[in-house]
Structures are given as structure tokens and as C-alpha cells.
Amino acid sequence: MKLISWNVNGLRAALNKGFMDFFTKQGADIFCVQETKLQEGQVELSLPGYNQYWNYAEKKGYSGTAVFTRKEPLNVIYGMGKDEHDHEGRMITLEFDDFYFITVYTPNSQEGLKRLDYRMKWEDDFLVYLKKLEERKPVIFAGDLNVARLEIDIKNPGPNRRNAGFTDEEREKIATIIENGFIDTFRYFYPDVQGVYSWWSYRFKARERNAGWRIDYFMASSALENKLRDAVIHTEVTGSDHCPVELDIDL
């Protein structure tokens, strides 16, 4: 199976920047997007052969996720079942015969870390949600996790130490997820590769200089380790300030 995730930073904008060309060329079994920035009815996508599932934020032009899947899921869950987290369209869970698939857009701690406390609560509740699902079957989750996990996952780790996305607190939370049995699939295959990122600021010609961050992930339950085949970061693909990430897995 080929699984792809992409923070499109506005799907309507991405549609004008080659989104459908990439989608069609890849022919993924599951393709998920974050930060759609849509309300229901603002975009009608023709995706023959795919089931579409959308979670819209209540706030217009903000957040939002979607999943397009060839195989119809057994069940679909929007959000994580906690009112404090479920108004921004940040999660969709699909249940299949042998696994759960989640697309997630983790809240940004924001400038001045004004949302860091909320982010910490989200992280704790998200891990509880993951482990509850794992009691039934393995989990794959993908999306913009808004954190560079390791120093090699960011171009300039030193100056960014207390910036949103690279605080000790955020990095500890993703470390805890891994300690609880989840695999960072890109680092599983490429533990030492440097200079491969998934997000670049629109400022200061960051993408031209490859001054980026790896903040988009595919994470998988350790029970799926022997089924993992490859992980790809499509740095060549433009159309957003993020690029798509991919997981190839035998399921």
C-alpha cells in the first residue's frame, strides 16, 4: 500500500499549484491532507475510485483535514471525542480490517508559545486516544505534527530552541509517543540522513536555501514493523510550504 500525507496550507490554493497532478500521478491507496482551510461546499473534488472524508474547522478559513481512500473503511471517527479538541477539524480516524489510519494536524504552539499549555494537553489526550485504539488493532497516523523531533530534523537547531515546534516540551511529547511503541517511519529507514525537510518558511528564501524543518510524519505501531517497506519525503513537490510525505507498507 502507498500512503501519502500533505499539509496543503489551503486546498483551494494547492489546486491551482499542481495538487491534482501529484495526486493522480501517485495513485495512493490512502491520501490525506491537513490545513484544508475550507468549509463544507467550498470545494467539490472529483476523485473517481476514492471515498472522501472531510473534517472542517468551525472557524472559517482555518485548519481542517481530509482523507481520500480507495477502500471503504469499516468506520469513521471525526476528532478524538473530547469537546475541547474537536472544534478545529484536526483529526479523522478510519478503521479498516487490520489497522486504524489517522490523519492529524497537531495544534501549533504559536508565537510566544501562547498555546503551548493547550498543546501539551492535546498531546496527552492524543496519546491516550492512540493507545485505546491499539487495544483493538495497530495504528498508523500521519500528518503535520508541528514538531521537529531531532536536531537533524531542523536546519538551525540552536537558534530555534525555544521557538514553537522545537521546544523541549514538544520534543519530549513526541519522544513519549515513540517510547509508547510507535515508529517514526522516516527515521526507521534513514536514521542518519540530514538535510531532508518537509516544511520551509515562505520568508527569507528558506526553501531555496533548504533551511527547513521535518515536521510531517508517518508514525506506525511497532506491531507493523515487519510490514514497513519505505518512507519518502517528496521535497521536489511544491504547491505548499510543506511537501508530501509517503509510507509504503504491506497491509
Active-site amino acid positions: 105, 144
Question: At 15, is the secondary structure helix, strand, or coil?
Answer: helix
Pairing of strands 228-233, 245-249: antiparallel
Residue 8 near residue 240, CB atoms below 8 Å: yes
- Residues 6 or more apart whose CB falls under 8 angstroms from that of 25 comprise none
End-to-end CA distance of the chain: 6
Contact 38, 11 (CB under 8 A): yes
State the cell numbers at 53. 472524508
Tell me, what amino acid is at 143?
G
Residue written as cell 485548519? 63
Q: Are 55 and 78 in contact (CB under 8 A)?
A: yes
Contact 73, 103 (CB under 8 A): no
Collapsing DSSP to helix, strand or coil, 122 comes out as: helix
In angstroms, how far is CA 114 from the centroid of its own chain?
Answer: 22
The SS3 call for residue 105 is strand
Q: What are phi and psi of 47, to 5 degrees?
A: -130, 75
